[in-house]
A and B are shown apart, each in its own frame.
Chain A
Amino acid sequence: MSGGQTKVKEINTVEQIPFWRDPDKLAIFYQAVVLSLVISFGYYLFYNAQTNLAKQSIRTGFGFLHREAGFEIGESVIAYSAANSYARALAVGLLNTLKVSFLGIVLTILLGVVVGVARLSTNWLVSRAAAIYIEVLQNIPVLLQLFFWYTIFHSNLPSPRKSMHPLPGVFFNNRGFYYPLPADNPVYVWVGIAFIAALVAGYILRRWARVRQDKTGQIFPAGWCAIGLAVLLPVITWAVGGAPKELNVPHLIGFNFEGGINFSPEFGALLLGLVLYTSAFVAEIVRSGIQAISKGQTEAAVSLGLKPRRVLGLVILPQALRIIIPPLTSQMLNLTKNSSLAIAIGYPDFVAVANTTINQTGQAIEGVALIMIVYLFISLVTSLFMNWYNKKKALVER
Chain B
Amino acid sequence: MESSKEITAGSELKPPITSVGVIGWMRENLFNTPLNSLLTIFILFCLYAIVPPLVKWAFFNADWTSSGQVCKESTGACWSVVTNNFRFILFGFYPYDEQWRPTVSIVIFILLVIFSHNRRFWNKNLIYVWVGGVVVMGVFMRGGLFGLSVVESTKWSGIILTLMLSLFGLTAAYPLGVLLALGRKSSLPAIKTLSIVYIELIRGVPLISLLFMSSVMFPLFLPEGITIDKILRAQVAIIMFTAAYIAEVVRGGLQAIPSGQYEAAEALGLDYSQKMRLIILPQALKVVIPPTVSILISAFKDTSLVIIIGLFDLMKTTQVTLSNPEWSGFSTEAYIFIALLYFGGCFAMSNFSRSLEDDLKT
Contact = CB atoms under 8 A, between A and B. Distances in A.
Interface residues of B, number: 53
Interface residues on A, range: 35 or more
Interface stretch (B4-12, B228-236, B278-286, B339-347): B339-347
Contacts, number: 154
B264 interface: no
A364 interface: yes
Given A34-B190, A151-B332, A143 B343 contact: no
A138 B221 contact: no
A360 interface: no
Interface stretch (B57-65, B78-86, B299-307): B299-307
B151 to A, nearest CB: 26
B212 A344 contact: no
B338 A144 contact: yes
Contacts of B29: 122-125
Contact of B346 (A122, A138, A364, A379): A138
B350 interface: yes
B338 A344 contact: no
B213 interface: yes
A273 to B, nearest CB: 12
Given A139-B342, A139-B350, A344-B308, A147 B335 contact: yes
B209 interface: yes
A45 B305 CA distance: 26
Nearest to B336: A148
A30 B30 CA distance: 65
A338 B301 CA distance: 12
A35, A55, A368, A379 interface centre (most CB from chain B within 10 Å): A368
A368 B216 contact: yes
A144 B205 contact: no
A261 B212 CA distance: 34
Interface in A111-155: 121-126, 129, 135-136, 138-144, 147-148, 151-152, 155
Contact of A123 (B39, B331, B338): B39
Interface string B239-275: 0000000000000000000000000000000000000
B356 to A, nearest CB: 17
Interface stretch (A64-72, A202-210, A219-227, A370-378): A370-378
Contacts of B212: 351, 355, 358, 367-368, 371
A376 B301 contact: no
B205 A337 contact: yes
Interface stretch (A11-19, A46-54, A389-397): A46-54
A147 B216 CA distance: 24
A140 B217 contact: no
Nearest to B43: A125
A35 to B, nearest CB: 5
B208 A343 contact: yes
Nearest to B222: A48
Contacts of A375: 204-206, 209
Given A31-B189, A141-B304, A375-B209, A121 B36 contact: yes
A373 to B, nearest CB: 9
Query: Which of A53, A121, A139, A355 is most buried by chain B, counting CB atoms within 10 A of its CB?
Result: A139
A38 B209 contact: no
Interface string A350-368: 0100010010000011011
Contact of B32 (A122, A152, A371): A122
A99 to B, nearest CB: 17
B54 interface: no
Contacts of B149: none
A148 B188 contact: no
Contacts of B315: 141, 143-144, 147
Contact of A148 (B40, B201, B335, B343): B335
A196 interface: no
A103 interface: no
Interface string B302-346: 101101100000010001000000000101100100110011001
Given A125-B30, A144-B339, A343-B308, A351 B208 contact: yes
Contacts of B335: 144, 147-148, 151
B220 A143 contact: no
Q: Which 4 A-B pairs have the closest CB atoms?
A: A139-B346, A124-B29, A337-B206, A31-B190
